[in-house]
Amino acid sequence: MYTGLGIALQAYRLREGIADTMLAIAPEILCQADDVALSAIDKWDDGDFLGAKTDAEQALTMYSTLNIALQAYRLREETMELATRLAPQAFTQAETAAMAAVALWEAGDFTGARNSAERVLLLYLRAAATAERQSALAQRANLAAELQFIAANDVYNRANMAFQMGWSIDATHLFVQCLPMFREAGNIAMQRRLAAEAALQMADQRLAESDEIARYVESILQGGIQ
């Protein structure tokens, strides 16, 4: 009974964190998980504590799957434009995995769907990190913000190594870590480029002013101005 209550509490807390968003974008999917949770409550009320525990476990799996899927969905929405342009192959791989996860959910394989959702989140993270890296390179961050880029690239390389080795948890954490690092390197490079361009414009303006002054002085020396 205590185990069942503990599982039910975990499921409830997960639902509280995702309910508003799920009701806005996919209420019918949330209802599927809610039906299982309500079934657990009914069985508890009827004294079927083992059945209640089993349903609570399934509800927890379903809410956990939806929580991971929401993280992947938000990341997809945030990075889709950049990733489709700068990391199309990685983004397509994530899209394919997402469709497979949906198929598992629809087939009632909620444990498989949860495992697949974790994979989907990792793939979207990998696509986003790859795109941010390409964006930083386009800003010449490897030259204009060399130290920051090298640090980000080191984490990115370790993330890819973990990904290739199948160390999903390590790869996920490392891709999450290098994403803002590449963005920072790109922003620093852009700011330095803008500052350099502004300095060049100022130098050109001062050179033009110096030429004008020189011509003015020359005209005086030649008696061109009384």
Q: What is the pLDDT of residues 121-163, one digit of tens each?
A: 999 999 999 999 999 999 999 998 999 999 999 999 999 999 9
Task: Give yes or no: residues 100 and 16 share one domain.
Answer: yes
**Residue 122: predicted pLDDT:** 98
Average pLDDT over residues 198-223: 61
Task: Give yes or no: residues 49 and 161 share one domain.
Answer: no
Q: For residue 130, is it within any domain?
A: no
Q: Is the pLDDT of residue 82 over 50?
A: yes
Return the ∠ at Cα 120 (arms to 151 and 161), rounded to 5°: 35
> Where is pLDDT greater, at 209 or 184?
184
Q: pTM to 2 decimals?
A: 0.84
Q: Is the pLDDT of residue 226 over 50?
A: no
Structural domain including 69 reads 1-121
Q: Is the pLDDT of residue 210 over 90?
A: no
Average pLDDT over residues 38-55: 96
Q: Is the pLDDT of residue 97 over 90?
A: yes
Task: Give yes or no: residues 109 and 76 share one domain.
Answer: yes
Count how many domains the chain has. Answer: 2
What pLDDT band is residue 224 in, cutting at 50, 70 and 90?
A: very low
Task: Give yes or no: residues 112 and 160 share one domain.
Answer: no
Cite the DSSP H helix spans in 107-145.
Answer: 110-138, 141-144
Cα four-point dihedral sign 12, 15, 16, 17: positive
Q: How much of the chain exceeds pLDDT 70, in percent?
A: 88
Kindly state the tokens that stand for 119. 């994979």
What pLDDT band is residue 199 in, cutting at 50, 70 and 90?
A: low
Closest CA to 94 of 137, 129, 67, 134: 129
Q: Is the pLDDT of residue 222 over 80?
A: no
Task: Give yes or no: residues 146 and 70 share one domain.
Answer: no
**Residue 208: predicted pLDDT:** 61
Task: Give yes or no: residues 18 and 106 share one domain.
Answer: yes
Task: Give yes or no: residues 151 and 105 share one domain.
Answer: no
CB burial of residue 27 (10 Å; 0-12, 13-18, 19+)? exposed
Task: Give yes or no: residues 117 and 209 share one domain.
Answer: no
Pick the last residue of a domain from 60, 90, 121.
121
- What's the rounded Cα separation, in Å, for the pair 82 and 13? 33
**Residue 165: predicted pLDDT:** 96
Pick the last residue of a domain from 91, 121, 151.
121
Task: Give yes or no: residues 169 and 65 share one domain.
Answer: no
Which amino acid is residue 42, in one-letter code? D
**Residue 142: predicted pLDDT:** 93
Q: Is the pLDDT of residue 219 over 60?
A: no
